[in-house]
């Protein structure tokens, strides 16, 4: 399900980019090339269609993104959480072992004795 939604998101993004590039910021865009009076759709209708297509693709993109988020959280949350917990517990156990190995052979928990201060020689 998540893979399908990801593919739909990519397709929607590509279509949205193409539709936005077909528009002109001043209202011309792709519709400005169809200026003849014999067309089935006039310039105004083409501009309206491209604007509605832009809004529809933007809305579809939002819906697909929300759906992918829900699909990911419903399927992957339990697996990801348990994996993260296992990794955290493993790291905690490894750090505890390495701390025990680094302590000197004396009493556990005591710091090693300080090193003697260097003496000055002339």
Q: Could you identify the residue written with the tokens 């517990």?
A: 89
* pLDDT greater than 90 at residue 114: no
Q: Is the pLDDT of residue 31 over 60?
A: no
Distances from the Cα of 20 to the Cαs of 52, 70, 92, in angstroms?
Answer: 11, 28, 52
More confident residue, 82 or 60: 60
pLDDT of residue 9: 94
For 10, 28, 46, 61, the CA distances from 2, given in Å and listed in that order, are 12, 38, 35, 14
**What pLDDT does residue 115 have?**
72
Please check whether residue 16 is in contact with residue 61, taking contact to mean a CB–CB distance below 8 angstroms. yes
Res 40 pLDDT > 60 = no
Give residue 22's pLDDT.
86
- Which pairs from 50-53 meet CB under 8 Å and 24+ separation? 50/19, 50/22, 50/23, 51/23, 53/19
The two three-digit tokens of residue 62, written as one number: 């939002």
The band of 19, judged by pLDDT with boundaries at 50, 70 and 90, is very high
């Amino acid at each position: 399900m998540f893979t399908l939604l990801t593919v739909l998101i990519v397709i929607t993004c590509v279509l949205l980019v193409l539709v936005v590039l077909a528009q002109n910021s001043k209202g011309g865009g792709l519709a400005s090339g169809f200026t003849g009076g014999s067309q089935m759709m006039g310039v105004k209708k083409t501009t309206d269609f491209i604007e509605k297509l832009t809004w529809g693709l933007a809305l579809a993109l939002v819906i697909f993104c929300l759906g992918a988020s829900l699909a990911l959280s419903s399927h992957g949350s339990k697996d990801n959480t348990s994996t993260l917990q296992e990794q955290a517990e493993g790291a905690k156990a490894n750090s505890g072992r390495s701390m025990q190995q680094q302590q000197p052979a004396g009493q556990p928990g005591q710091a090693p004795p300080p090193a003697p201060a260097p003496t000055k020689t002339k």
